[in-house]
Amino acid sequence: MSDKIKFIANKIPKEQLLSLYKNMLKPRLIEEKMLILLRQGKISKWFSGIGQEAISVGVTAALQEDEYILPMHRNLGVFTTRNIPLYRLFSQWQGKMNGFTKGRDRSFHFGSQAFHIVGMISHLGPQLGIADGIALANKLKKNKKVCAVFTGEGGTSEGDFHEALNVASVWNLPVLFCVENNGYGLSTPTSAQFNCKNIADKGMGYGMESHIIDGNNILEVYAKVSKLAESMRKKPRPVLLEFKTFRMRGHEEASGTKYVPTETLDLWAKKDPLENYIGFLKKKKILTTVIETAYKEEITQEINDHLQKAYDEEKIIPNLASELKDVFKATQYEAIAPAPEKKNIRFVDAISEGLCQSMEKHEGLVIMGQDVAEYGGVFKITDGFVEKFGKERVRNTPICESAIVAAGYGLSVSGIKSVVEMQFADFASSGFNPIVNLLAKSHYRWQQNADTVIRMPCGAGVGAGPFHSQTNEAWFTKTPGLKVVYPAFPQDAKGLLIAAINDPNPVLFFEHKGLYRSVYNDVSENYFTTEIGKAALIKEGTQLTIISYGAPIHWVLEYLEKNAAISADVIDLRTLQPLDTETIYDSVKKTGRVIIVQEDSLFGGISSDLSALINEHCFEYLDAPVKRVASLETPIPFEPSLEAQYLGKKRLEKTINELLKY
C-alpha cells in the first residue's frame, strides 16, 4: 500500500475545497476534546472516527441536505457536516434533555428528522434495511432523492447486509451502501471477517454496481460520491461503495489497539486524511496559515461554548408519566361505527376486506410480503390486490424478513404506512431483531414512530408441525413498544385490522389460520374500526370467568354449548397488548373463579401474567386458585393425534370441573 494520497481537485471551487477542510477539522477537534474529557472521567464511552473523517464528511457533503443519511458509531462527521448544533450532541452524550433521546439512549443511537439523519441501533445490521425503506419511499414519491447508509466491514458479515443489498437490487432502490473497511471489527481483522479480496467484489453477487474508494482521500470520496449520487437521482439504482481506511484508535477508547501491529498503525498514520489534505491545500496555496488558525480558533471557541452550555444544562429529573407515555406515539383513536348492512363471510374474507378498504383509505399504504402480489399470498388474502392497487403498493419480497421489517420502518421514517405479511407467524423469528429492537424501541428512543402492521398467520390444529403452527404472541407481548392484537371473529378481525393500520405504532396482528376458513359471521360491509385494547365479554354467566383469545375462544364456546348447565362469563381478550384489565377484573370480582385458556405452551405465556395480575388485584374476591389451560411443553407435532394431545382443548373440561368443585 502506498502512503501517498493523490489529490485531484478538478473543477471543485476553492470555497468548496476549504469547506471540506473545515468540515473535516471540526470532528477531529471535537474528538480531541472528547479524549481529554474521557481521561477526566467526564464522558463514559467513545468510539473514535479519527482517521476516517474523509468518508463521513465527503459523503455528507456530496448529498443534498434533505437526503437521508444513516450513520454508524464512527460517523461524527455526518452529524457535524449536517450542522447539528454542538450543544445538542454534547447534551446527548451527557444524557440531558437537549440531546436527542431524553437520556434514554447513548452515543450515536439517535436520529433527527430535522437533519434527515437516522441513527443506528447497537445491532448494526438493521440500519441497512432501513435505507431500503427510505429509498423505496423516495422512489414511490418520485422525488429523485438518494439515501446513504453506513456500515463497517464487520457489519457486512451480518445477514442484514446480505438481505438489504439483495432487496435493494431486486427493487432497484437508490441507496448508497457505504462500507468503511477500517481493518478491524473490534479485535477481528478483515482476514477473519470475510474471505474475499474486496468487499466491493460482493456487489457482483447482488447484480449491483460497486466501487472501491480511497477513504482517506476527501477529494476522491467527495467527487465520486457526488457523481454517483447525481446519476442515481436520474437513474435510481443501488451502489455498493467500499472505502478503504483504517481505525487508528481502539474499538472504543477503553479497549486499546494492542492487537494491531505497530507498523500497520505507522503506515496508516502517514495516510492521515486531514494532515495530507492540509498539505495539499497549502501546496496549492489555497489554505494559508491565517485561514488555518482562524478556523481552528473559531471551531475551538464553538466547542467550548457549546460544551459549557451542555454542562450548564440541568440533569434529567425522572418523570414516570412521560417515560411510560413515550413508549408509543400518542394517537387519537378514530371510532368509525360498523354499519348495519352485513354479509356472512369467513374470517379470511374479513381480513382481506379490511386490508382492501385500508388500501383505498390510505393512498400511500404499502403491502410487502412473500408472494403477496399476483399469487395473492399463500392464504389468498391479497388476491386481486395487484390489479386494484398496482405492483408498487403490493410488493412481492425476496425471502428477507429482517430487511423487509426494517424497510417498513424506513417507510415510516418517510411518512408512509406499511403492512408486512409474514407468510407464517413462525417466520417472524427471521425478522425478530428489527421487530423487537428497531420498531419497538424507536418512539421511546428518539420519538420516531414505526407505522407498521405485521400480519401473523399463526396457530395449530392444521397438522402443520413445529414450524408452521406456532402461536408466538408471547415473544412480543413482553416487549414494551409493540401492540399485539389477536381477534377470534371475522367482525373483530376486520375492525381491529383497520384500527391497527390507522394506529401510528407498530402492531403485531395475529390471525389464526385455523379460523380462516372455518369461522363465519355477519361482518359490516363498511370501513369501520374496533378499538385496540378493549376486550369483549361475549357470554355472561355467574359460576366462573373463562378468559381466552384466538382459536381457544371457539373451544370454550363449543364446550359451553354442549354443557348448558355451566354458567360462565367468557372474555375474548382481542388485544393482548395493551390489556383490558378492567373488563377482566370486573368479571373475576363477580364470579370469583377464573380459567385462562391459551393455545401457546404453558410457561411464559400470557395466561401466566394474567394469573399474576388477577392474584394481585382480585385476591379477596377469589373462591379458588386461578387455573390455566395451555399446550404441552413441547414443540408442536404434526400428526393429528399427537397435535390433539399437545393442545389444551382436551384438558379444558377437566379443569373446568376441578374449578367448579373447588
Residue numbers annotated as active site = 468
3 state DSSP class of 124: coil
Between 164 and 519, name the residue whose CB sits nearer to ligand TPP. 164
Q: How far is CA 234 from CA 59, 69, 139, in A?
A: 18, 19, 11
By CB under 6 A, residue 99 contacts ligand TPP: no
By CB under 6 A, residue 572 contacts ligand TPP: no
By CB under 6 A, residue 426 contacts ligand TPP: no
Cβ atoms of 27 and 77 within 8 Å: the answer is yes
What is the sign, positive or negative, of the torsion defined by CA atoms of 58, 61, 67, 73? positive
Out of 122, 344, 563, 567, the only residue in the binding site for ligand TPP (CB under 6 A) is: 122
HEC readout, 409-423? HHHHHCCCCEEEECC
- From CA 424, how far away is CA 458, in angstroms rounded? 6
Instruction: Kindly state the smallest distance separating residue 184's Cβ from ligand TPP, in Å.
Output: 6
The runs of H, that is alpha helices, within 490-538 are 490-502, 513-516
Give the contacts of 278 (CB within 8 A, at least 6 positions apart).
21, 287, 292
By CB under 6 A, residue 124 contacts ligand TPP: yes
List 627's β-bridge partners, or say none: 595
Between 186 and 324, name the residue whose CB sits nearer to ligand TPP. 186
DSSP string, 192-257: HH-SSS-GGGHHHHTT-EEEEEETT-HHHHHHHHHHHHHHHHHS---EEEEEE----S-SSGGG--
The residue assigned the cell 449520487 is: 229
Q: Which stretch binds ligand TPP (CB under 6 A): 35-43, 152-160, 284-292, 362-370?
A: 152-160
Instruction: Kindly state the smallest distance separating residue 506's Cβ from ligand TPP, in Å.
Output: 20
List 648's β-bridge partners, or say none: none
Between 247 and 393, name the residue whose CB sits nearer to ligand TPP. 247
Out of 126, 155, 550, 637, the only residue in the binding site for ligand TPP (CB under 6 A) is: 155
Instruction: Kindly state the smallest distance separating residue 452's Cβ from ligand TPP, in Å.
Output: 21
Between 119 and 185, name the residue whose CB sits nearer to ligand TPP. 185
Cβ atoms of 394 and 373 within 8 Å: the answer is yes
Instruction: Kindly state the smallest distance separating residue 202's Cβ from ligand TPP, in Å.
Output: 15
Report 186-225 residues binding ligand TPP (CB under 6 A): 186
- From CA 518, how far away is CA 516, in angstroms rounded? 6
Out of 19, 38, 112, 123, the only residue in the binding site for ligand TPP (CB under 6 A) is: 123
Q: Which stretch binds ligand TPP (CB under 6 A): 182-190, 208-216, 356-364, 554-562?
A: 182-190
By CB under 6 A, residue 247 contacts ligand TPP: yes
Cβ atoms of 210 and 243 within 8 Å: the answer is no
What is the sign, positive or negative, of the torsion defined by CA atoms of 98, 101, 104, 106? negative
Between 184 and 379, name the residue whose CB sits nearer to ligand TPP. 184
Out of 182, 245, 397, 471, the only residue in the binding site for ligand TPP (CB under 6 A) is: 182
Residue 133: exposed, middle, or buried by beta-carbon count in 10 A (0-12, 13-18, 19+)?
buried
Cβ atoms of 87 and 309 within 8 Å: the answer is yes
Cβ atoms of 493 and 528 within 8 Å: the answer is no
By CB under 6 A, residue 154 contacts ligand TPP: yes
Between 93 and 379, name the residue whose CB sits nearer to ligand TPP. 93
Instruction: Kindly state the smallest distance separating residue 595's Cβ from ligand TPP, in Å.
Output: 41
- From CA 542, how far away is CA 160, in angstroms rounded? 53
Instruction: Kindly state the smallest distance separating residue 34's Cβ from ligand TPP, in Å.
Output: 16
Instruction: Kindly state the smallest distance separating residue 162's Cβ from ligand TPP, in Å.
Output: 14
Size of site (CB under 6 A) for ligand TPP? 15
Out of 77, 119, 129, 152, the only residue in the binding site for ligand TPP (CB under 6 A) is: 152
Instruction: Kindly state the smallest distance separating residue 221's Cβ from ligand TPP, in Å.
Output: 16
* Window 23-62: contact mask with ligand TPP (x via CB under 6 A): ----------------------------------------
Residue 349: exposed, middle, or buried by beta-carbon count in 10 A (0-12, 13-18, 19+)?
buried
Output the CA angle 637-639-643, nearest 5 degrees: 55
Between 248 and 597, name the residue whose CB sits nearer to ligand TPP. 248
Q: Which stretch binds ligand TPP (CB under 6 A): 146-154, 196-204, 212-220, 571-579?
A: 146-154
Instruction: Kindly state the smallest distance separating residue 315's Cβ from ligand TPP, in Å.
Output: 28
Long-range contacts of 99-104, Cβ-Cβ distance < 8 Å, separation of 24 or more: 100/446, 101/445, 101/446, 102/316, 102/322, 102/326, 103/316, 104/444, 104/445
Between 152 and 637, name the residue whose CB sits nearer to ligand TPP. 152
By CB under 6 A, residue 153 contacts ligand TPP: yes
* Window 251-290: contact mask with ligand TPP (x via CB under 6 A): x---------------------------------------
Instruction: Kindly state the smallest distance separating residue 165's Cβ from ligand TPP, in Å.
Output: 15
- Binding site residues, ligand TPP, CB under 6 A: 74, 122-124, 151-155, 182, 184-186, 247, 251
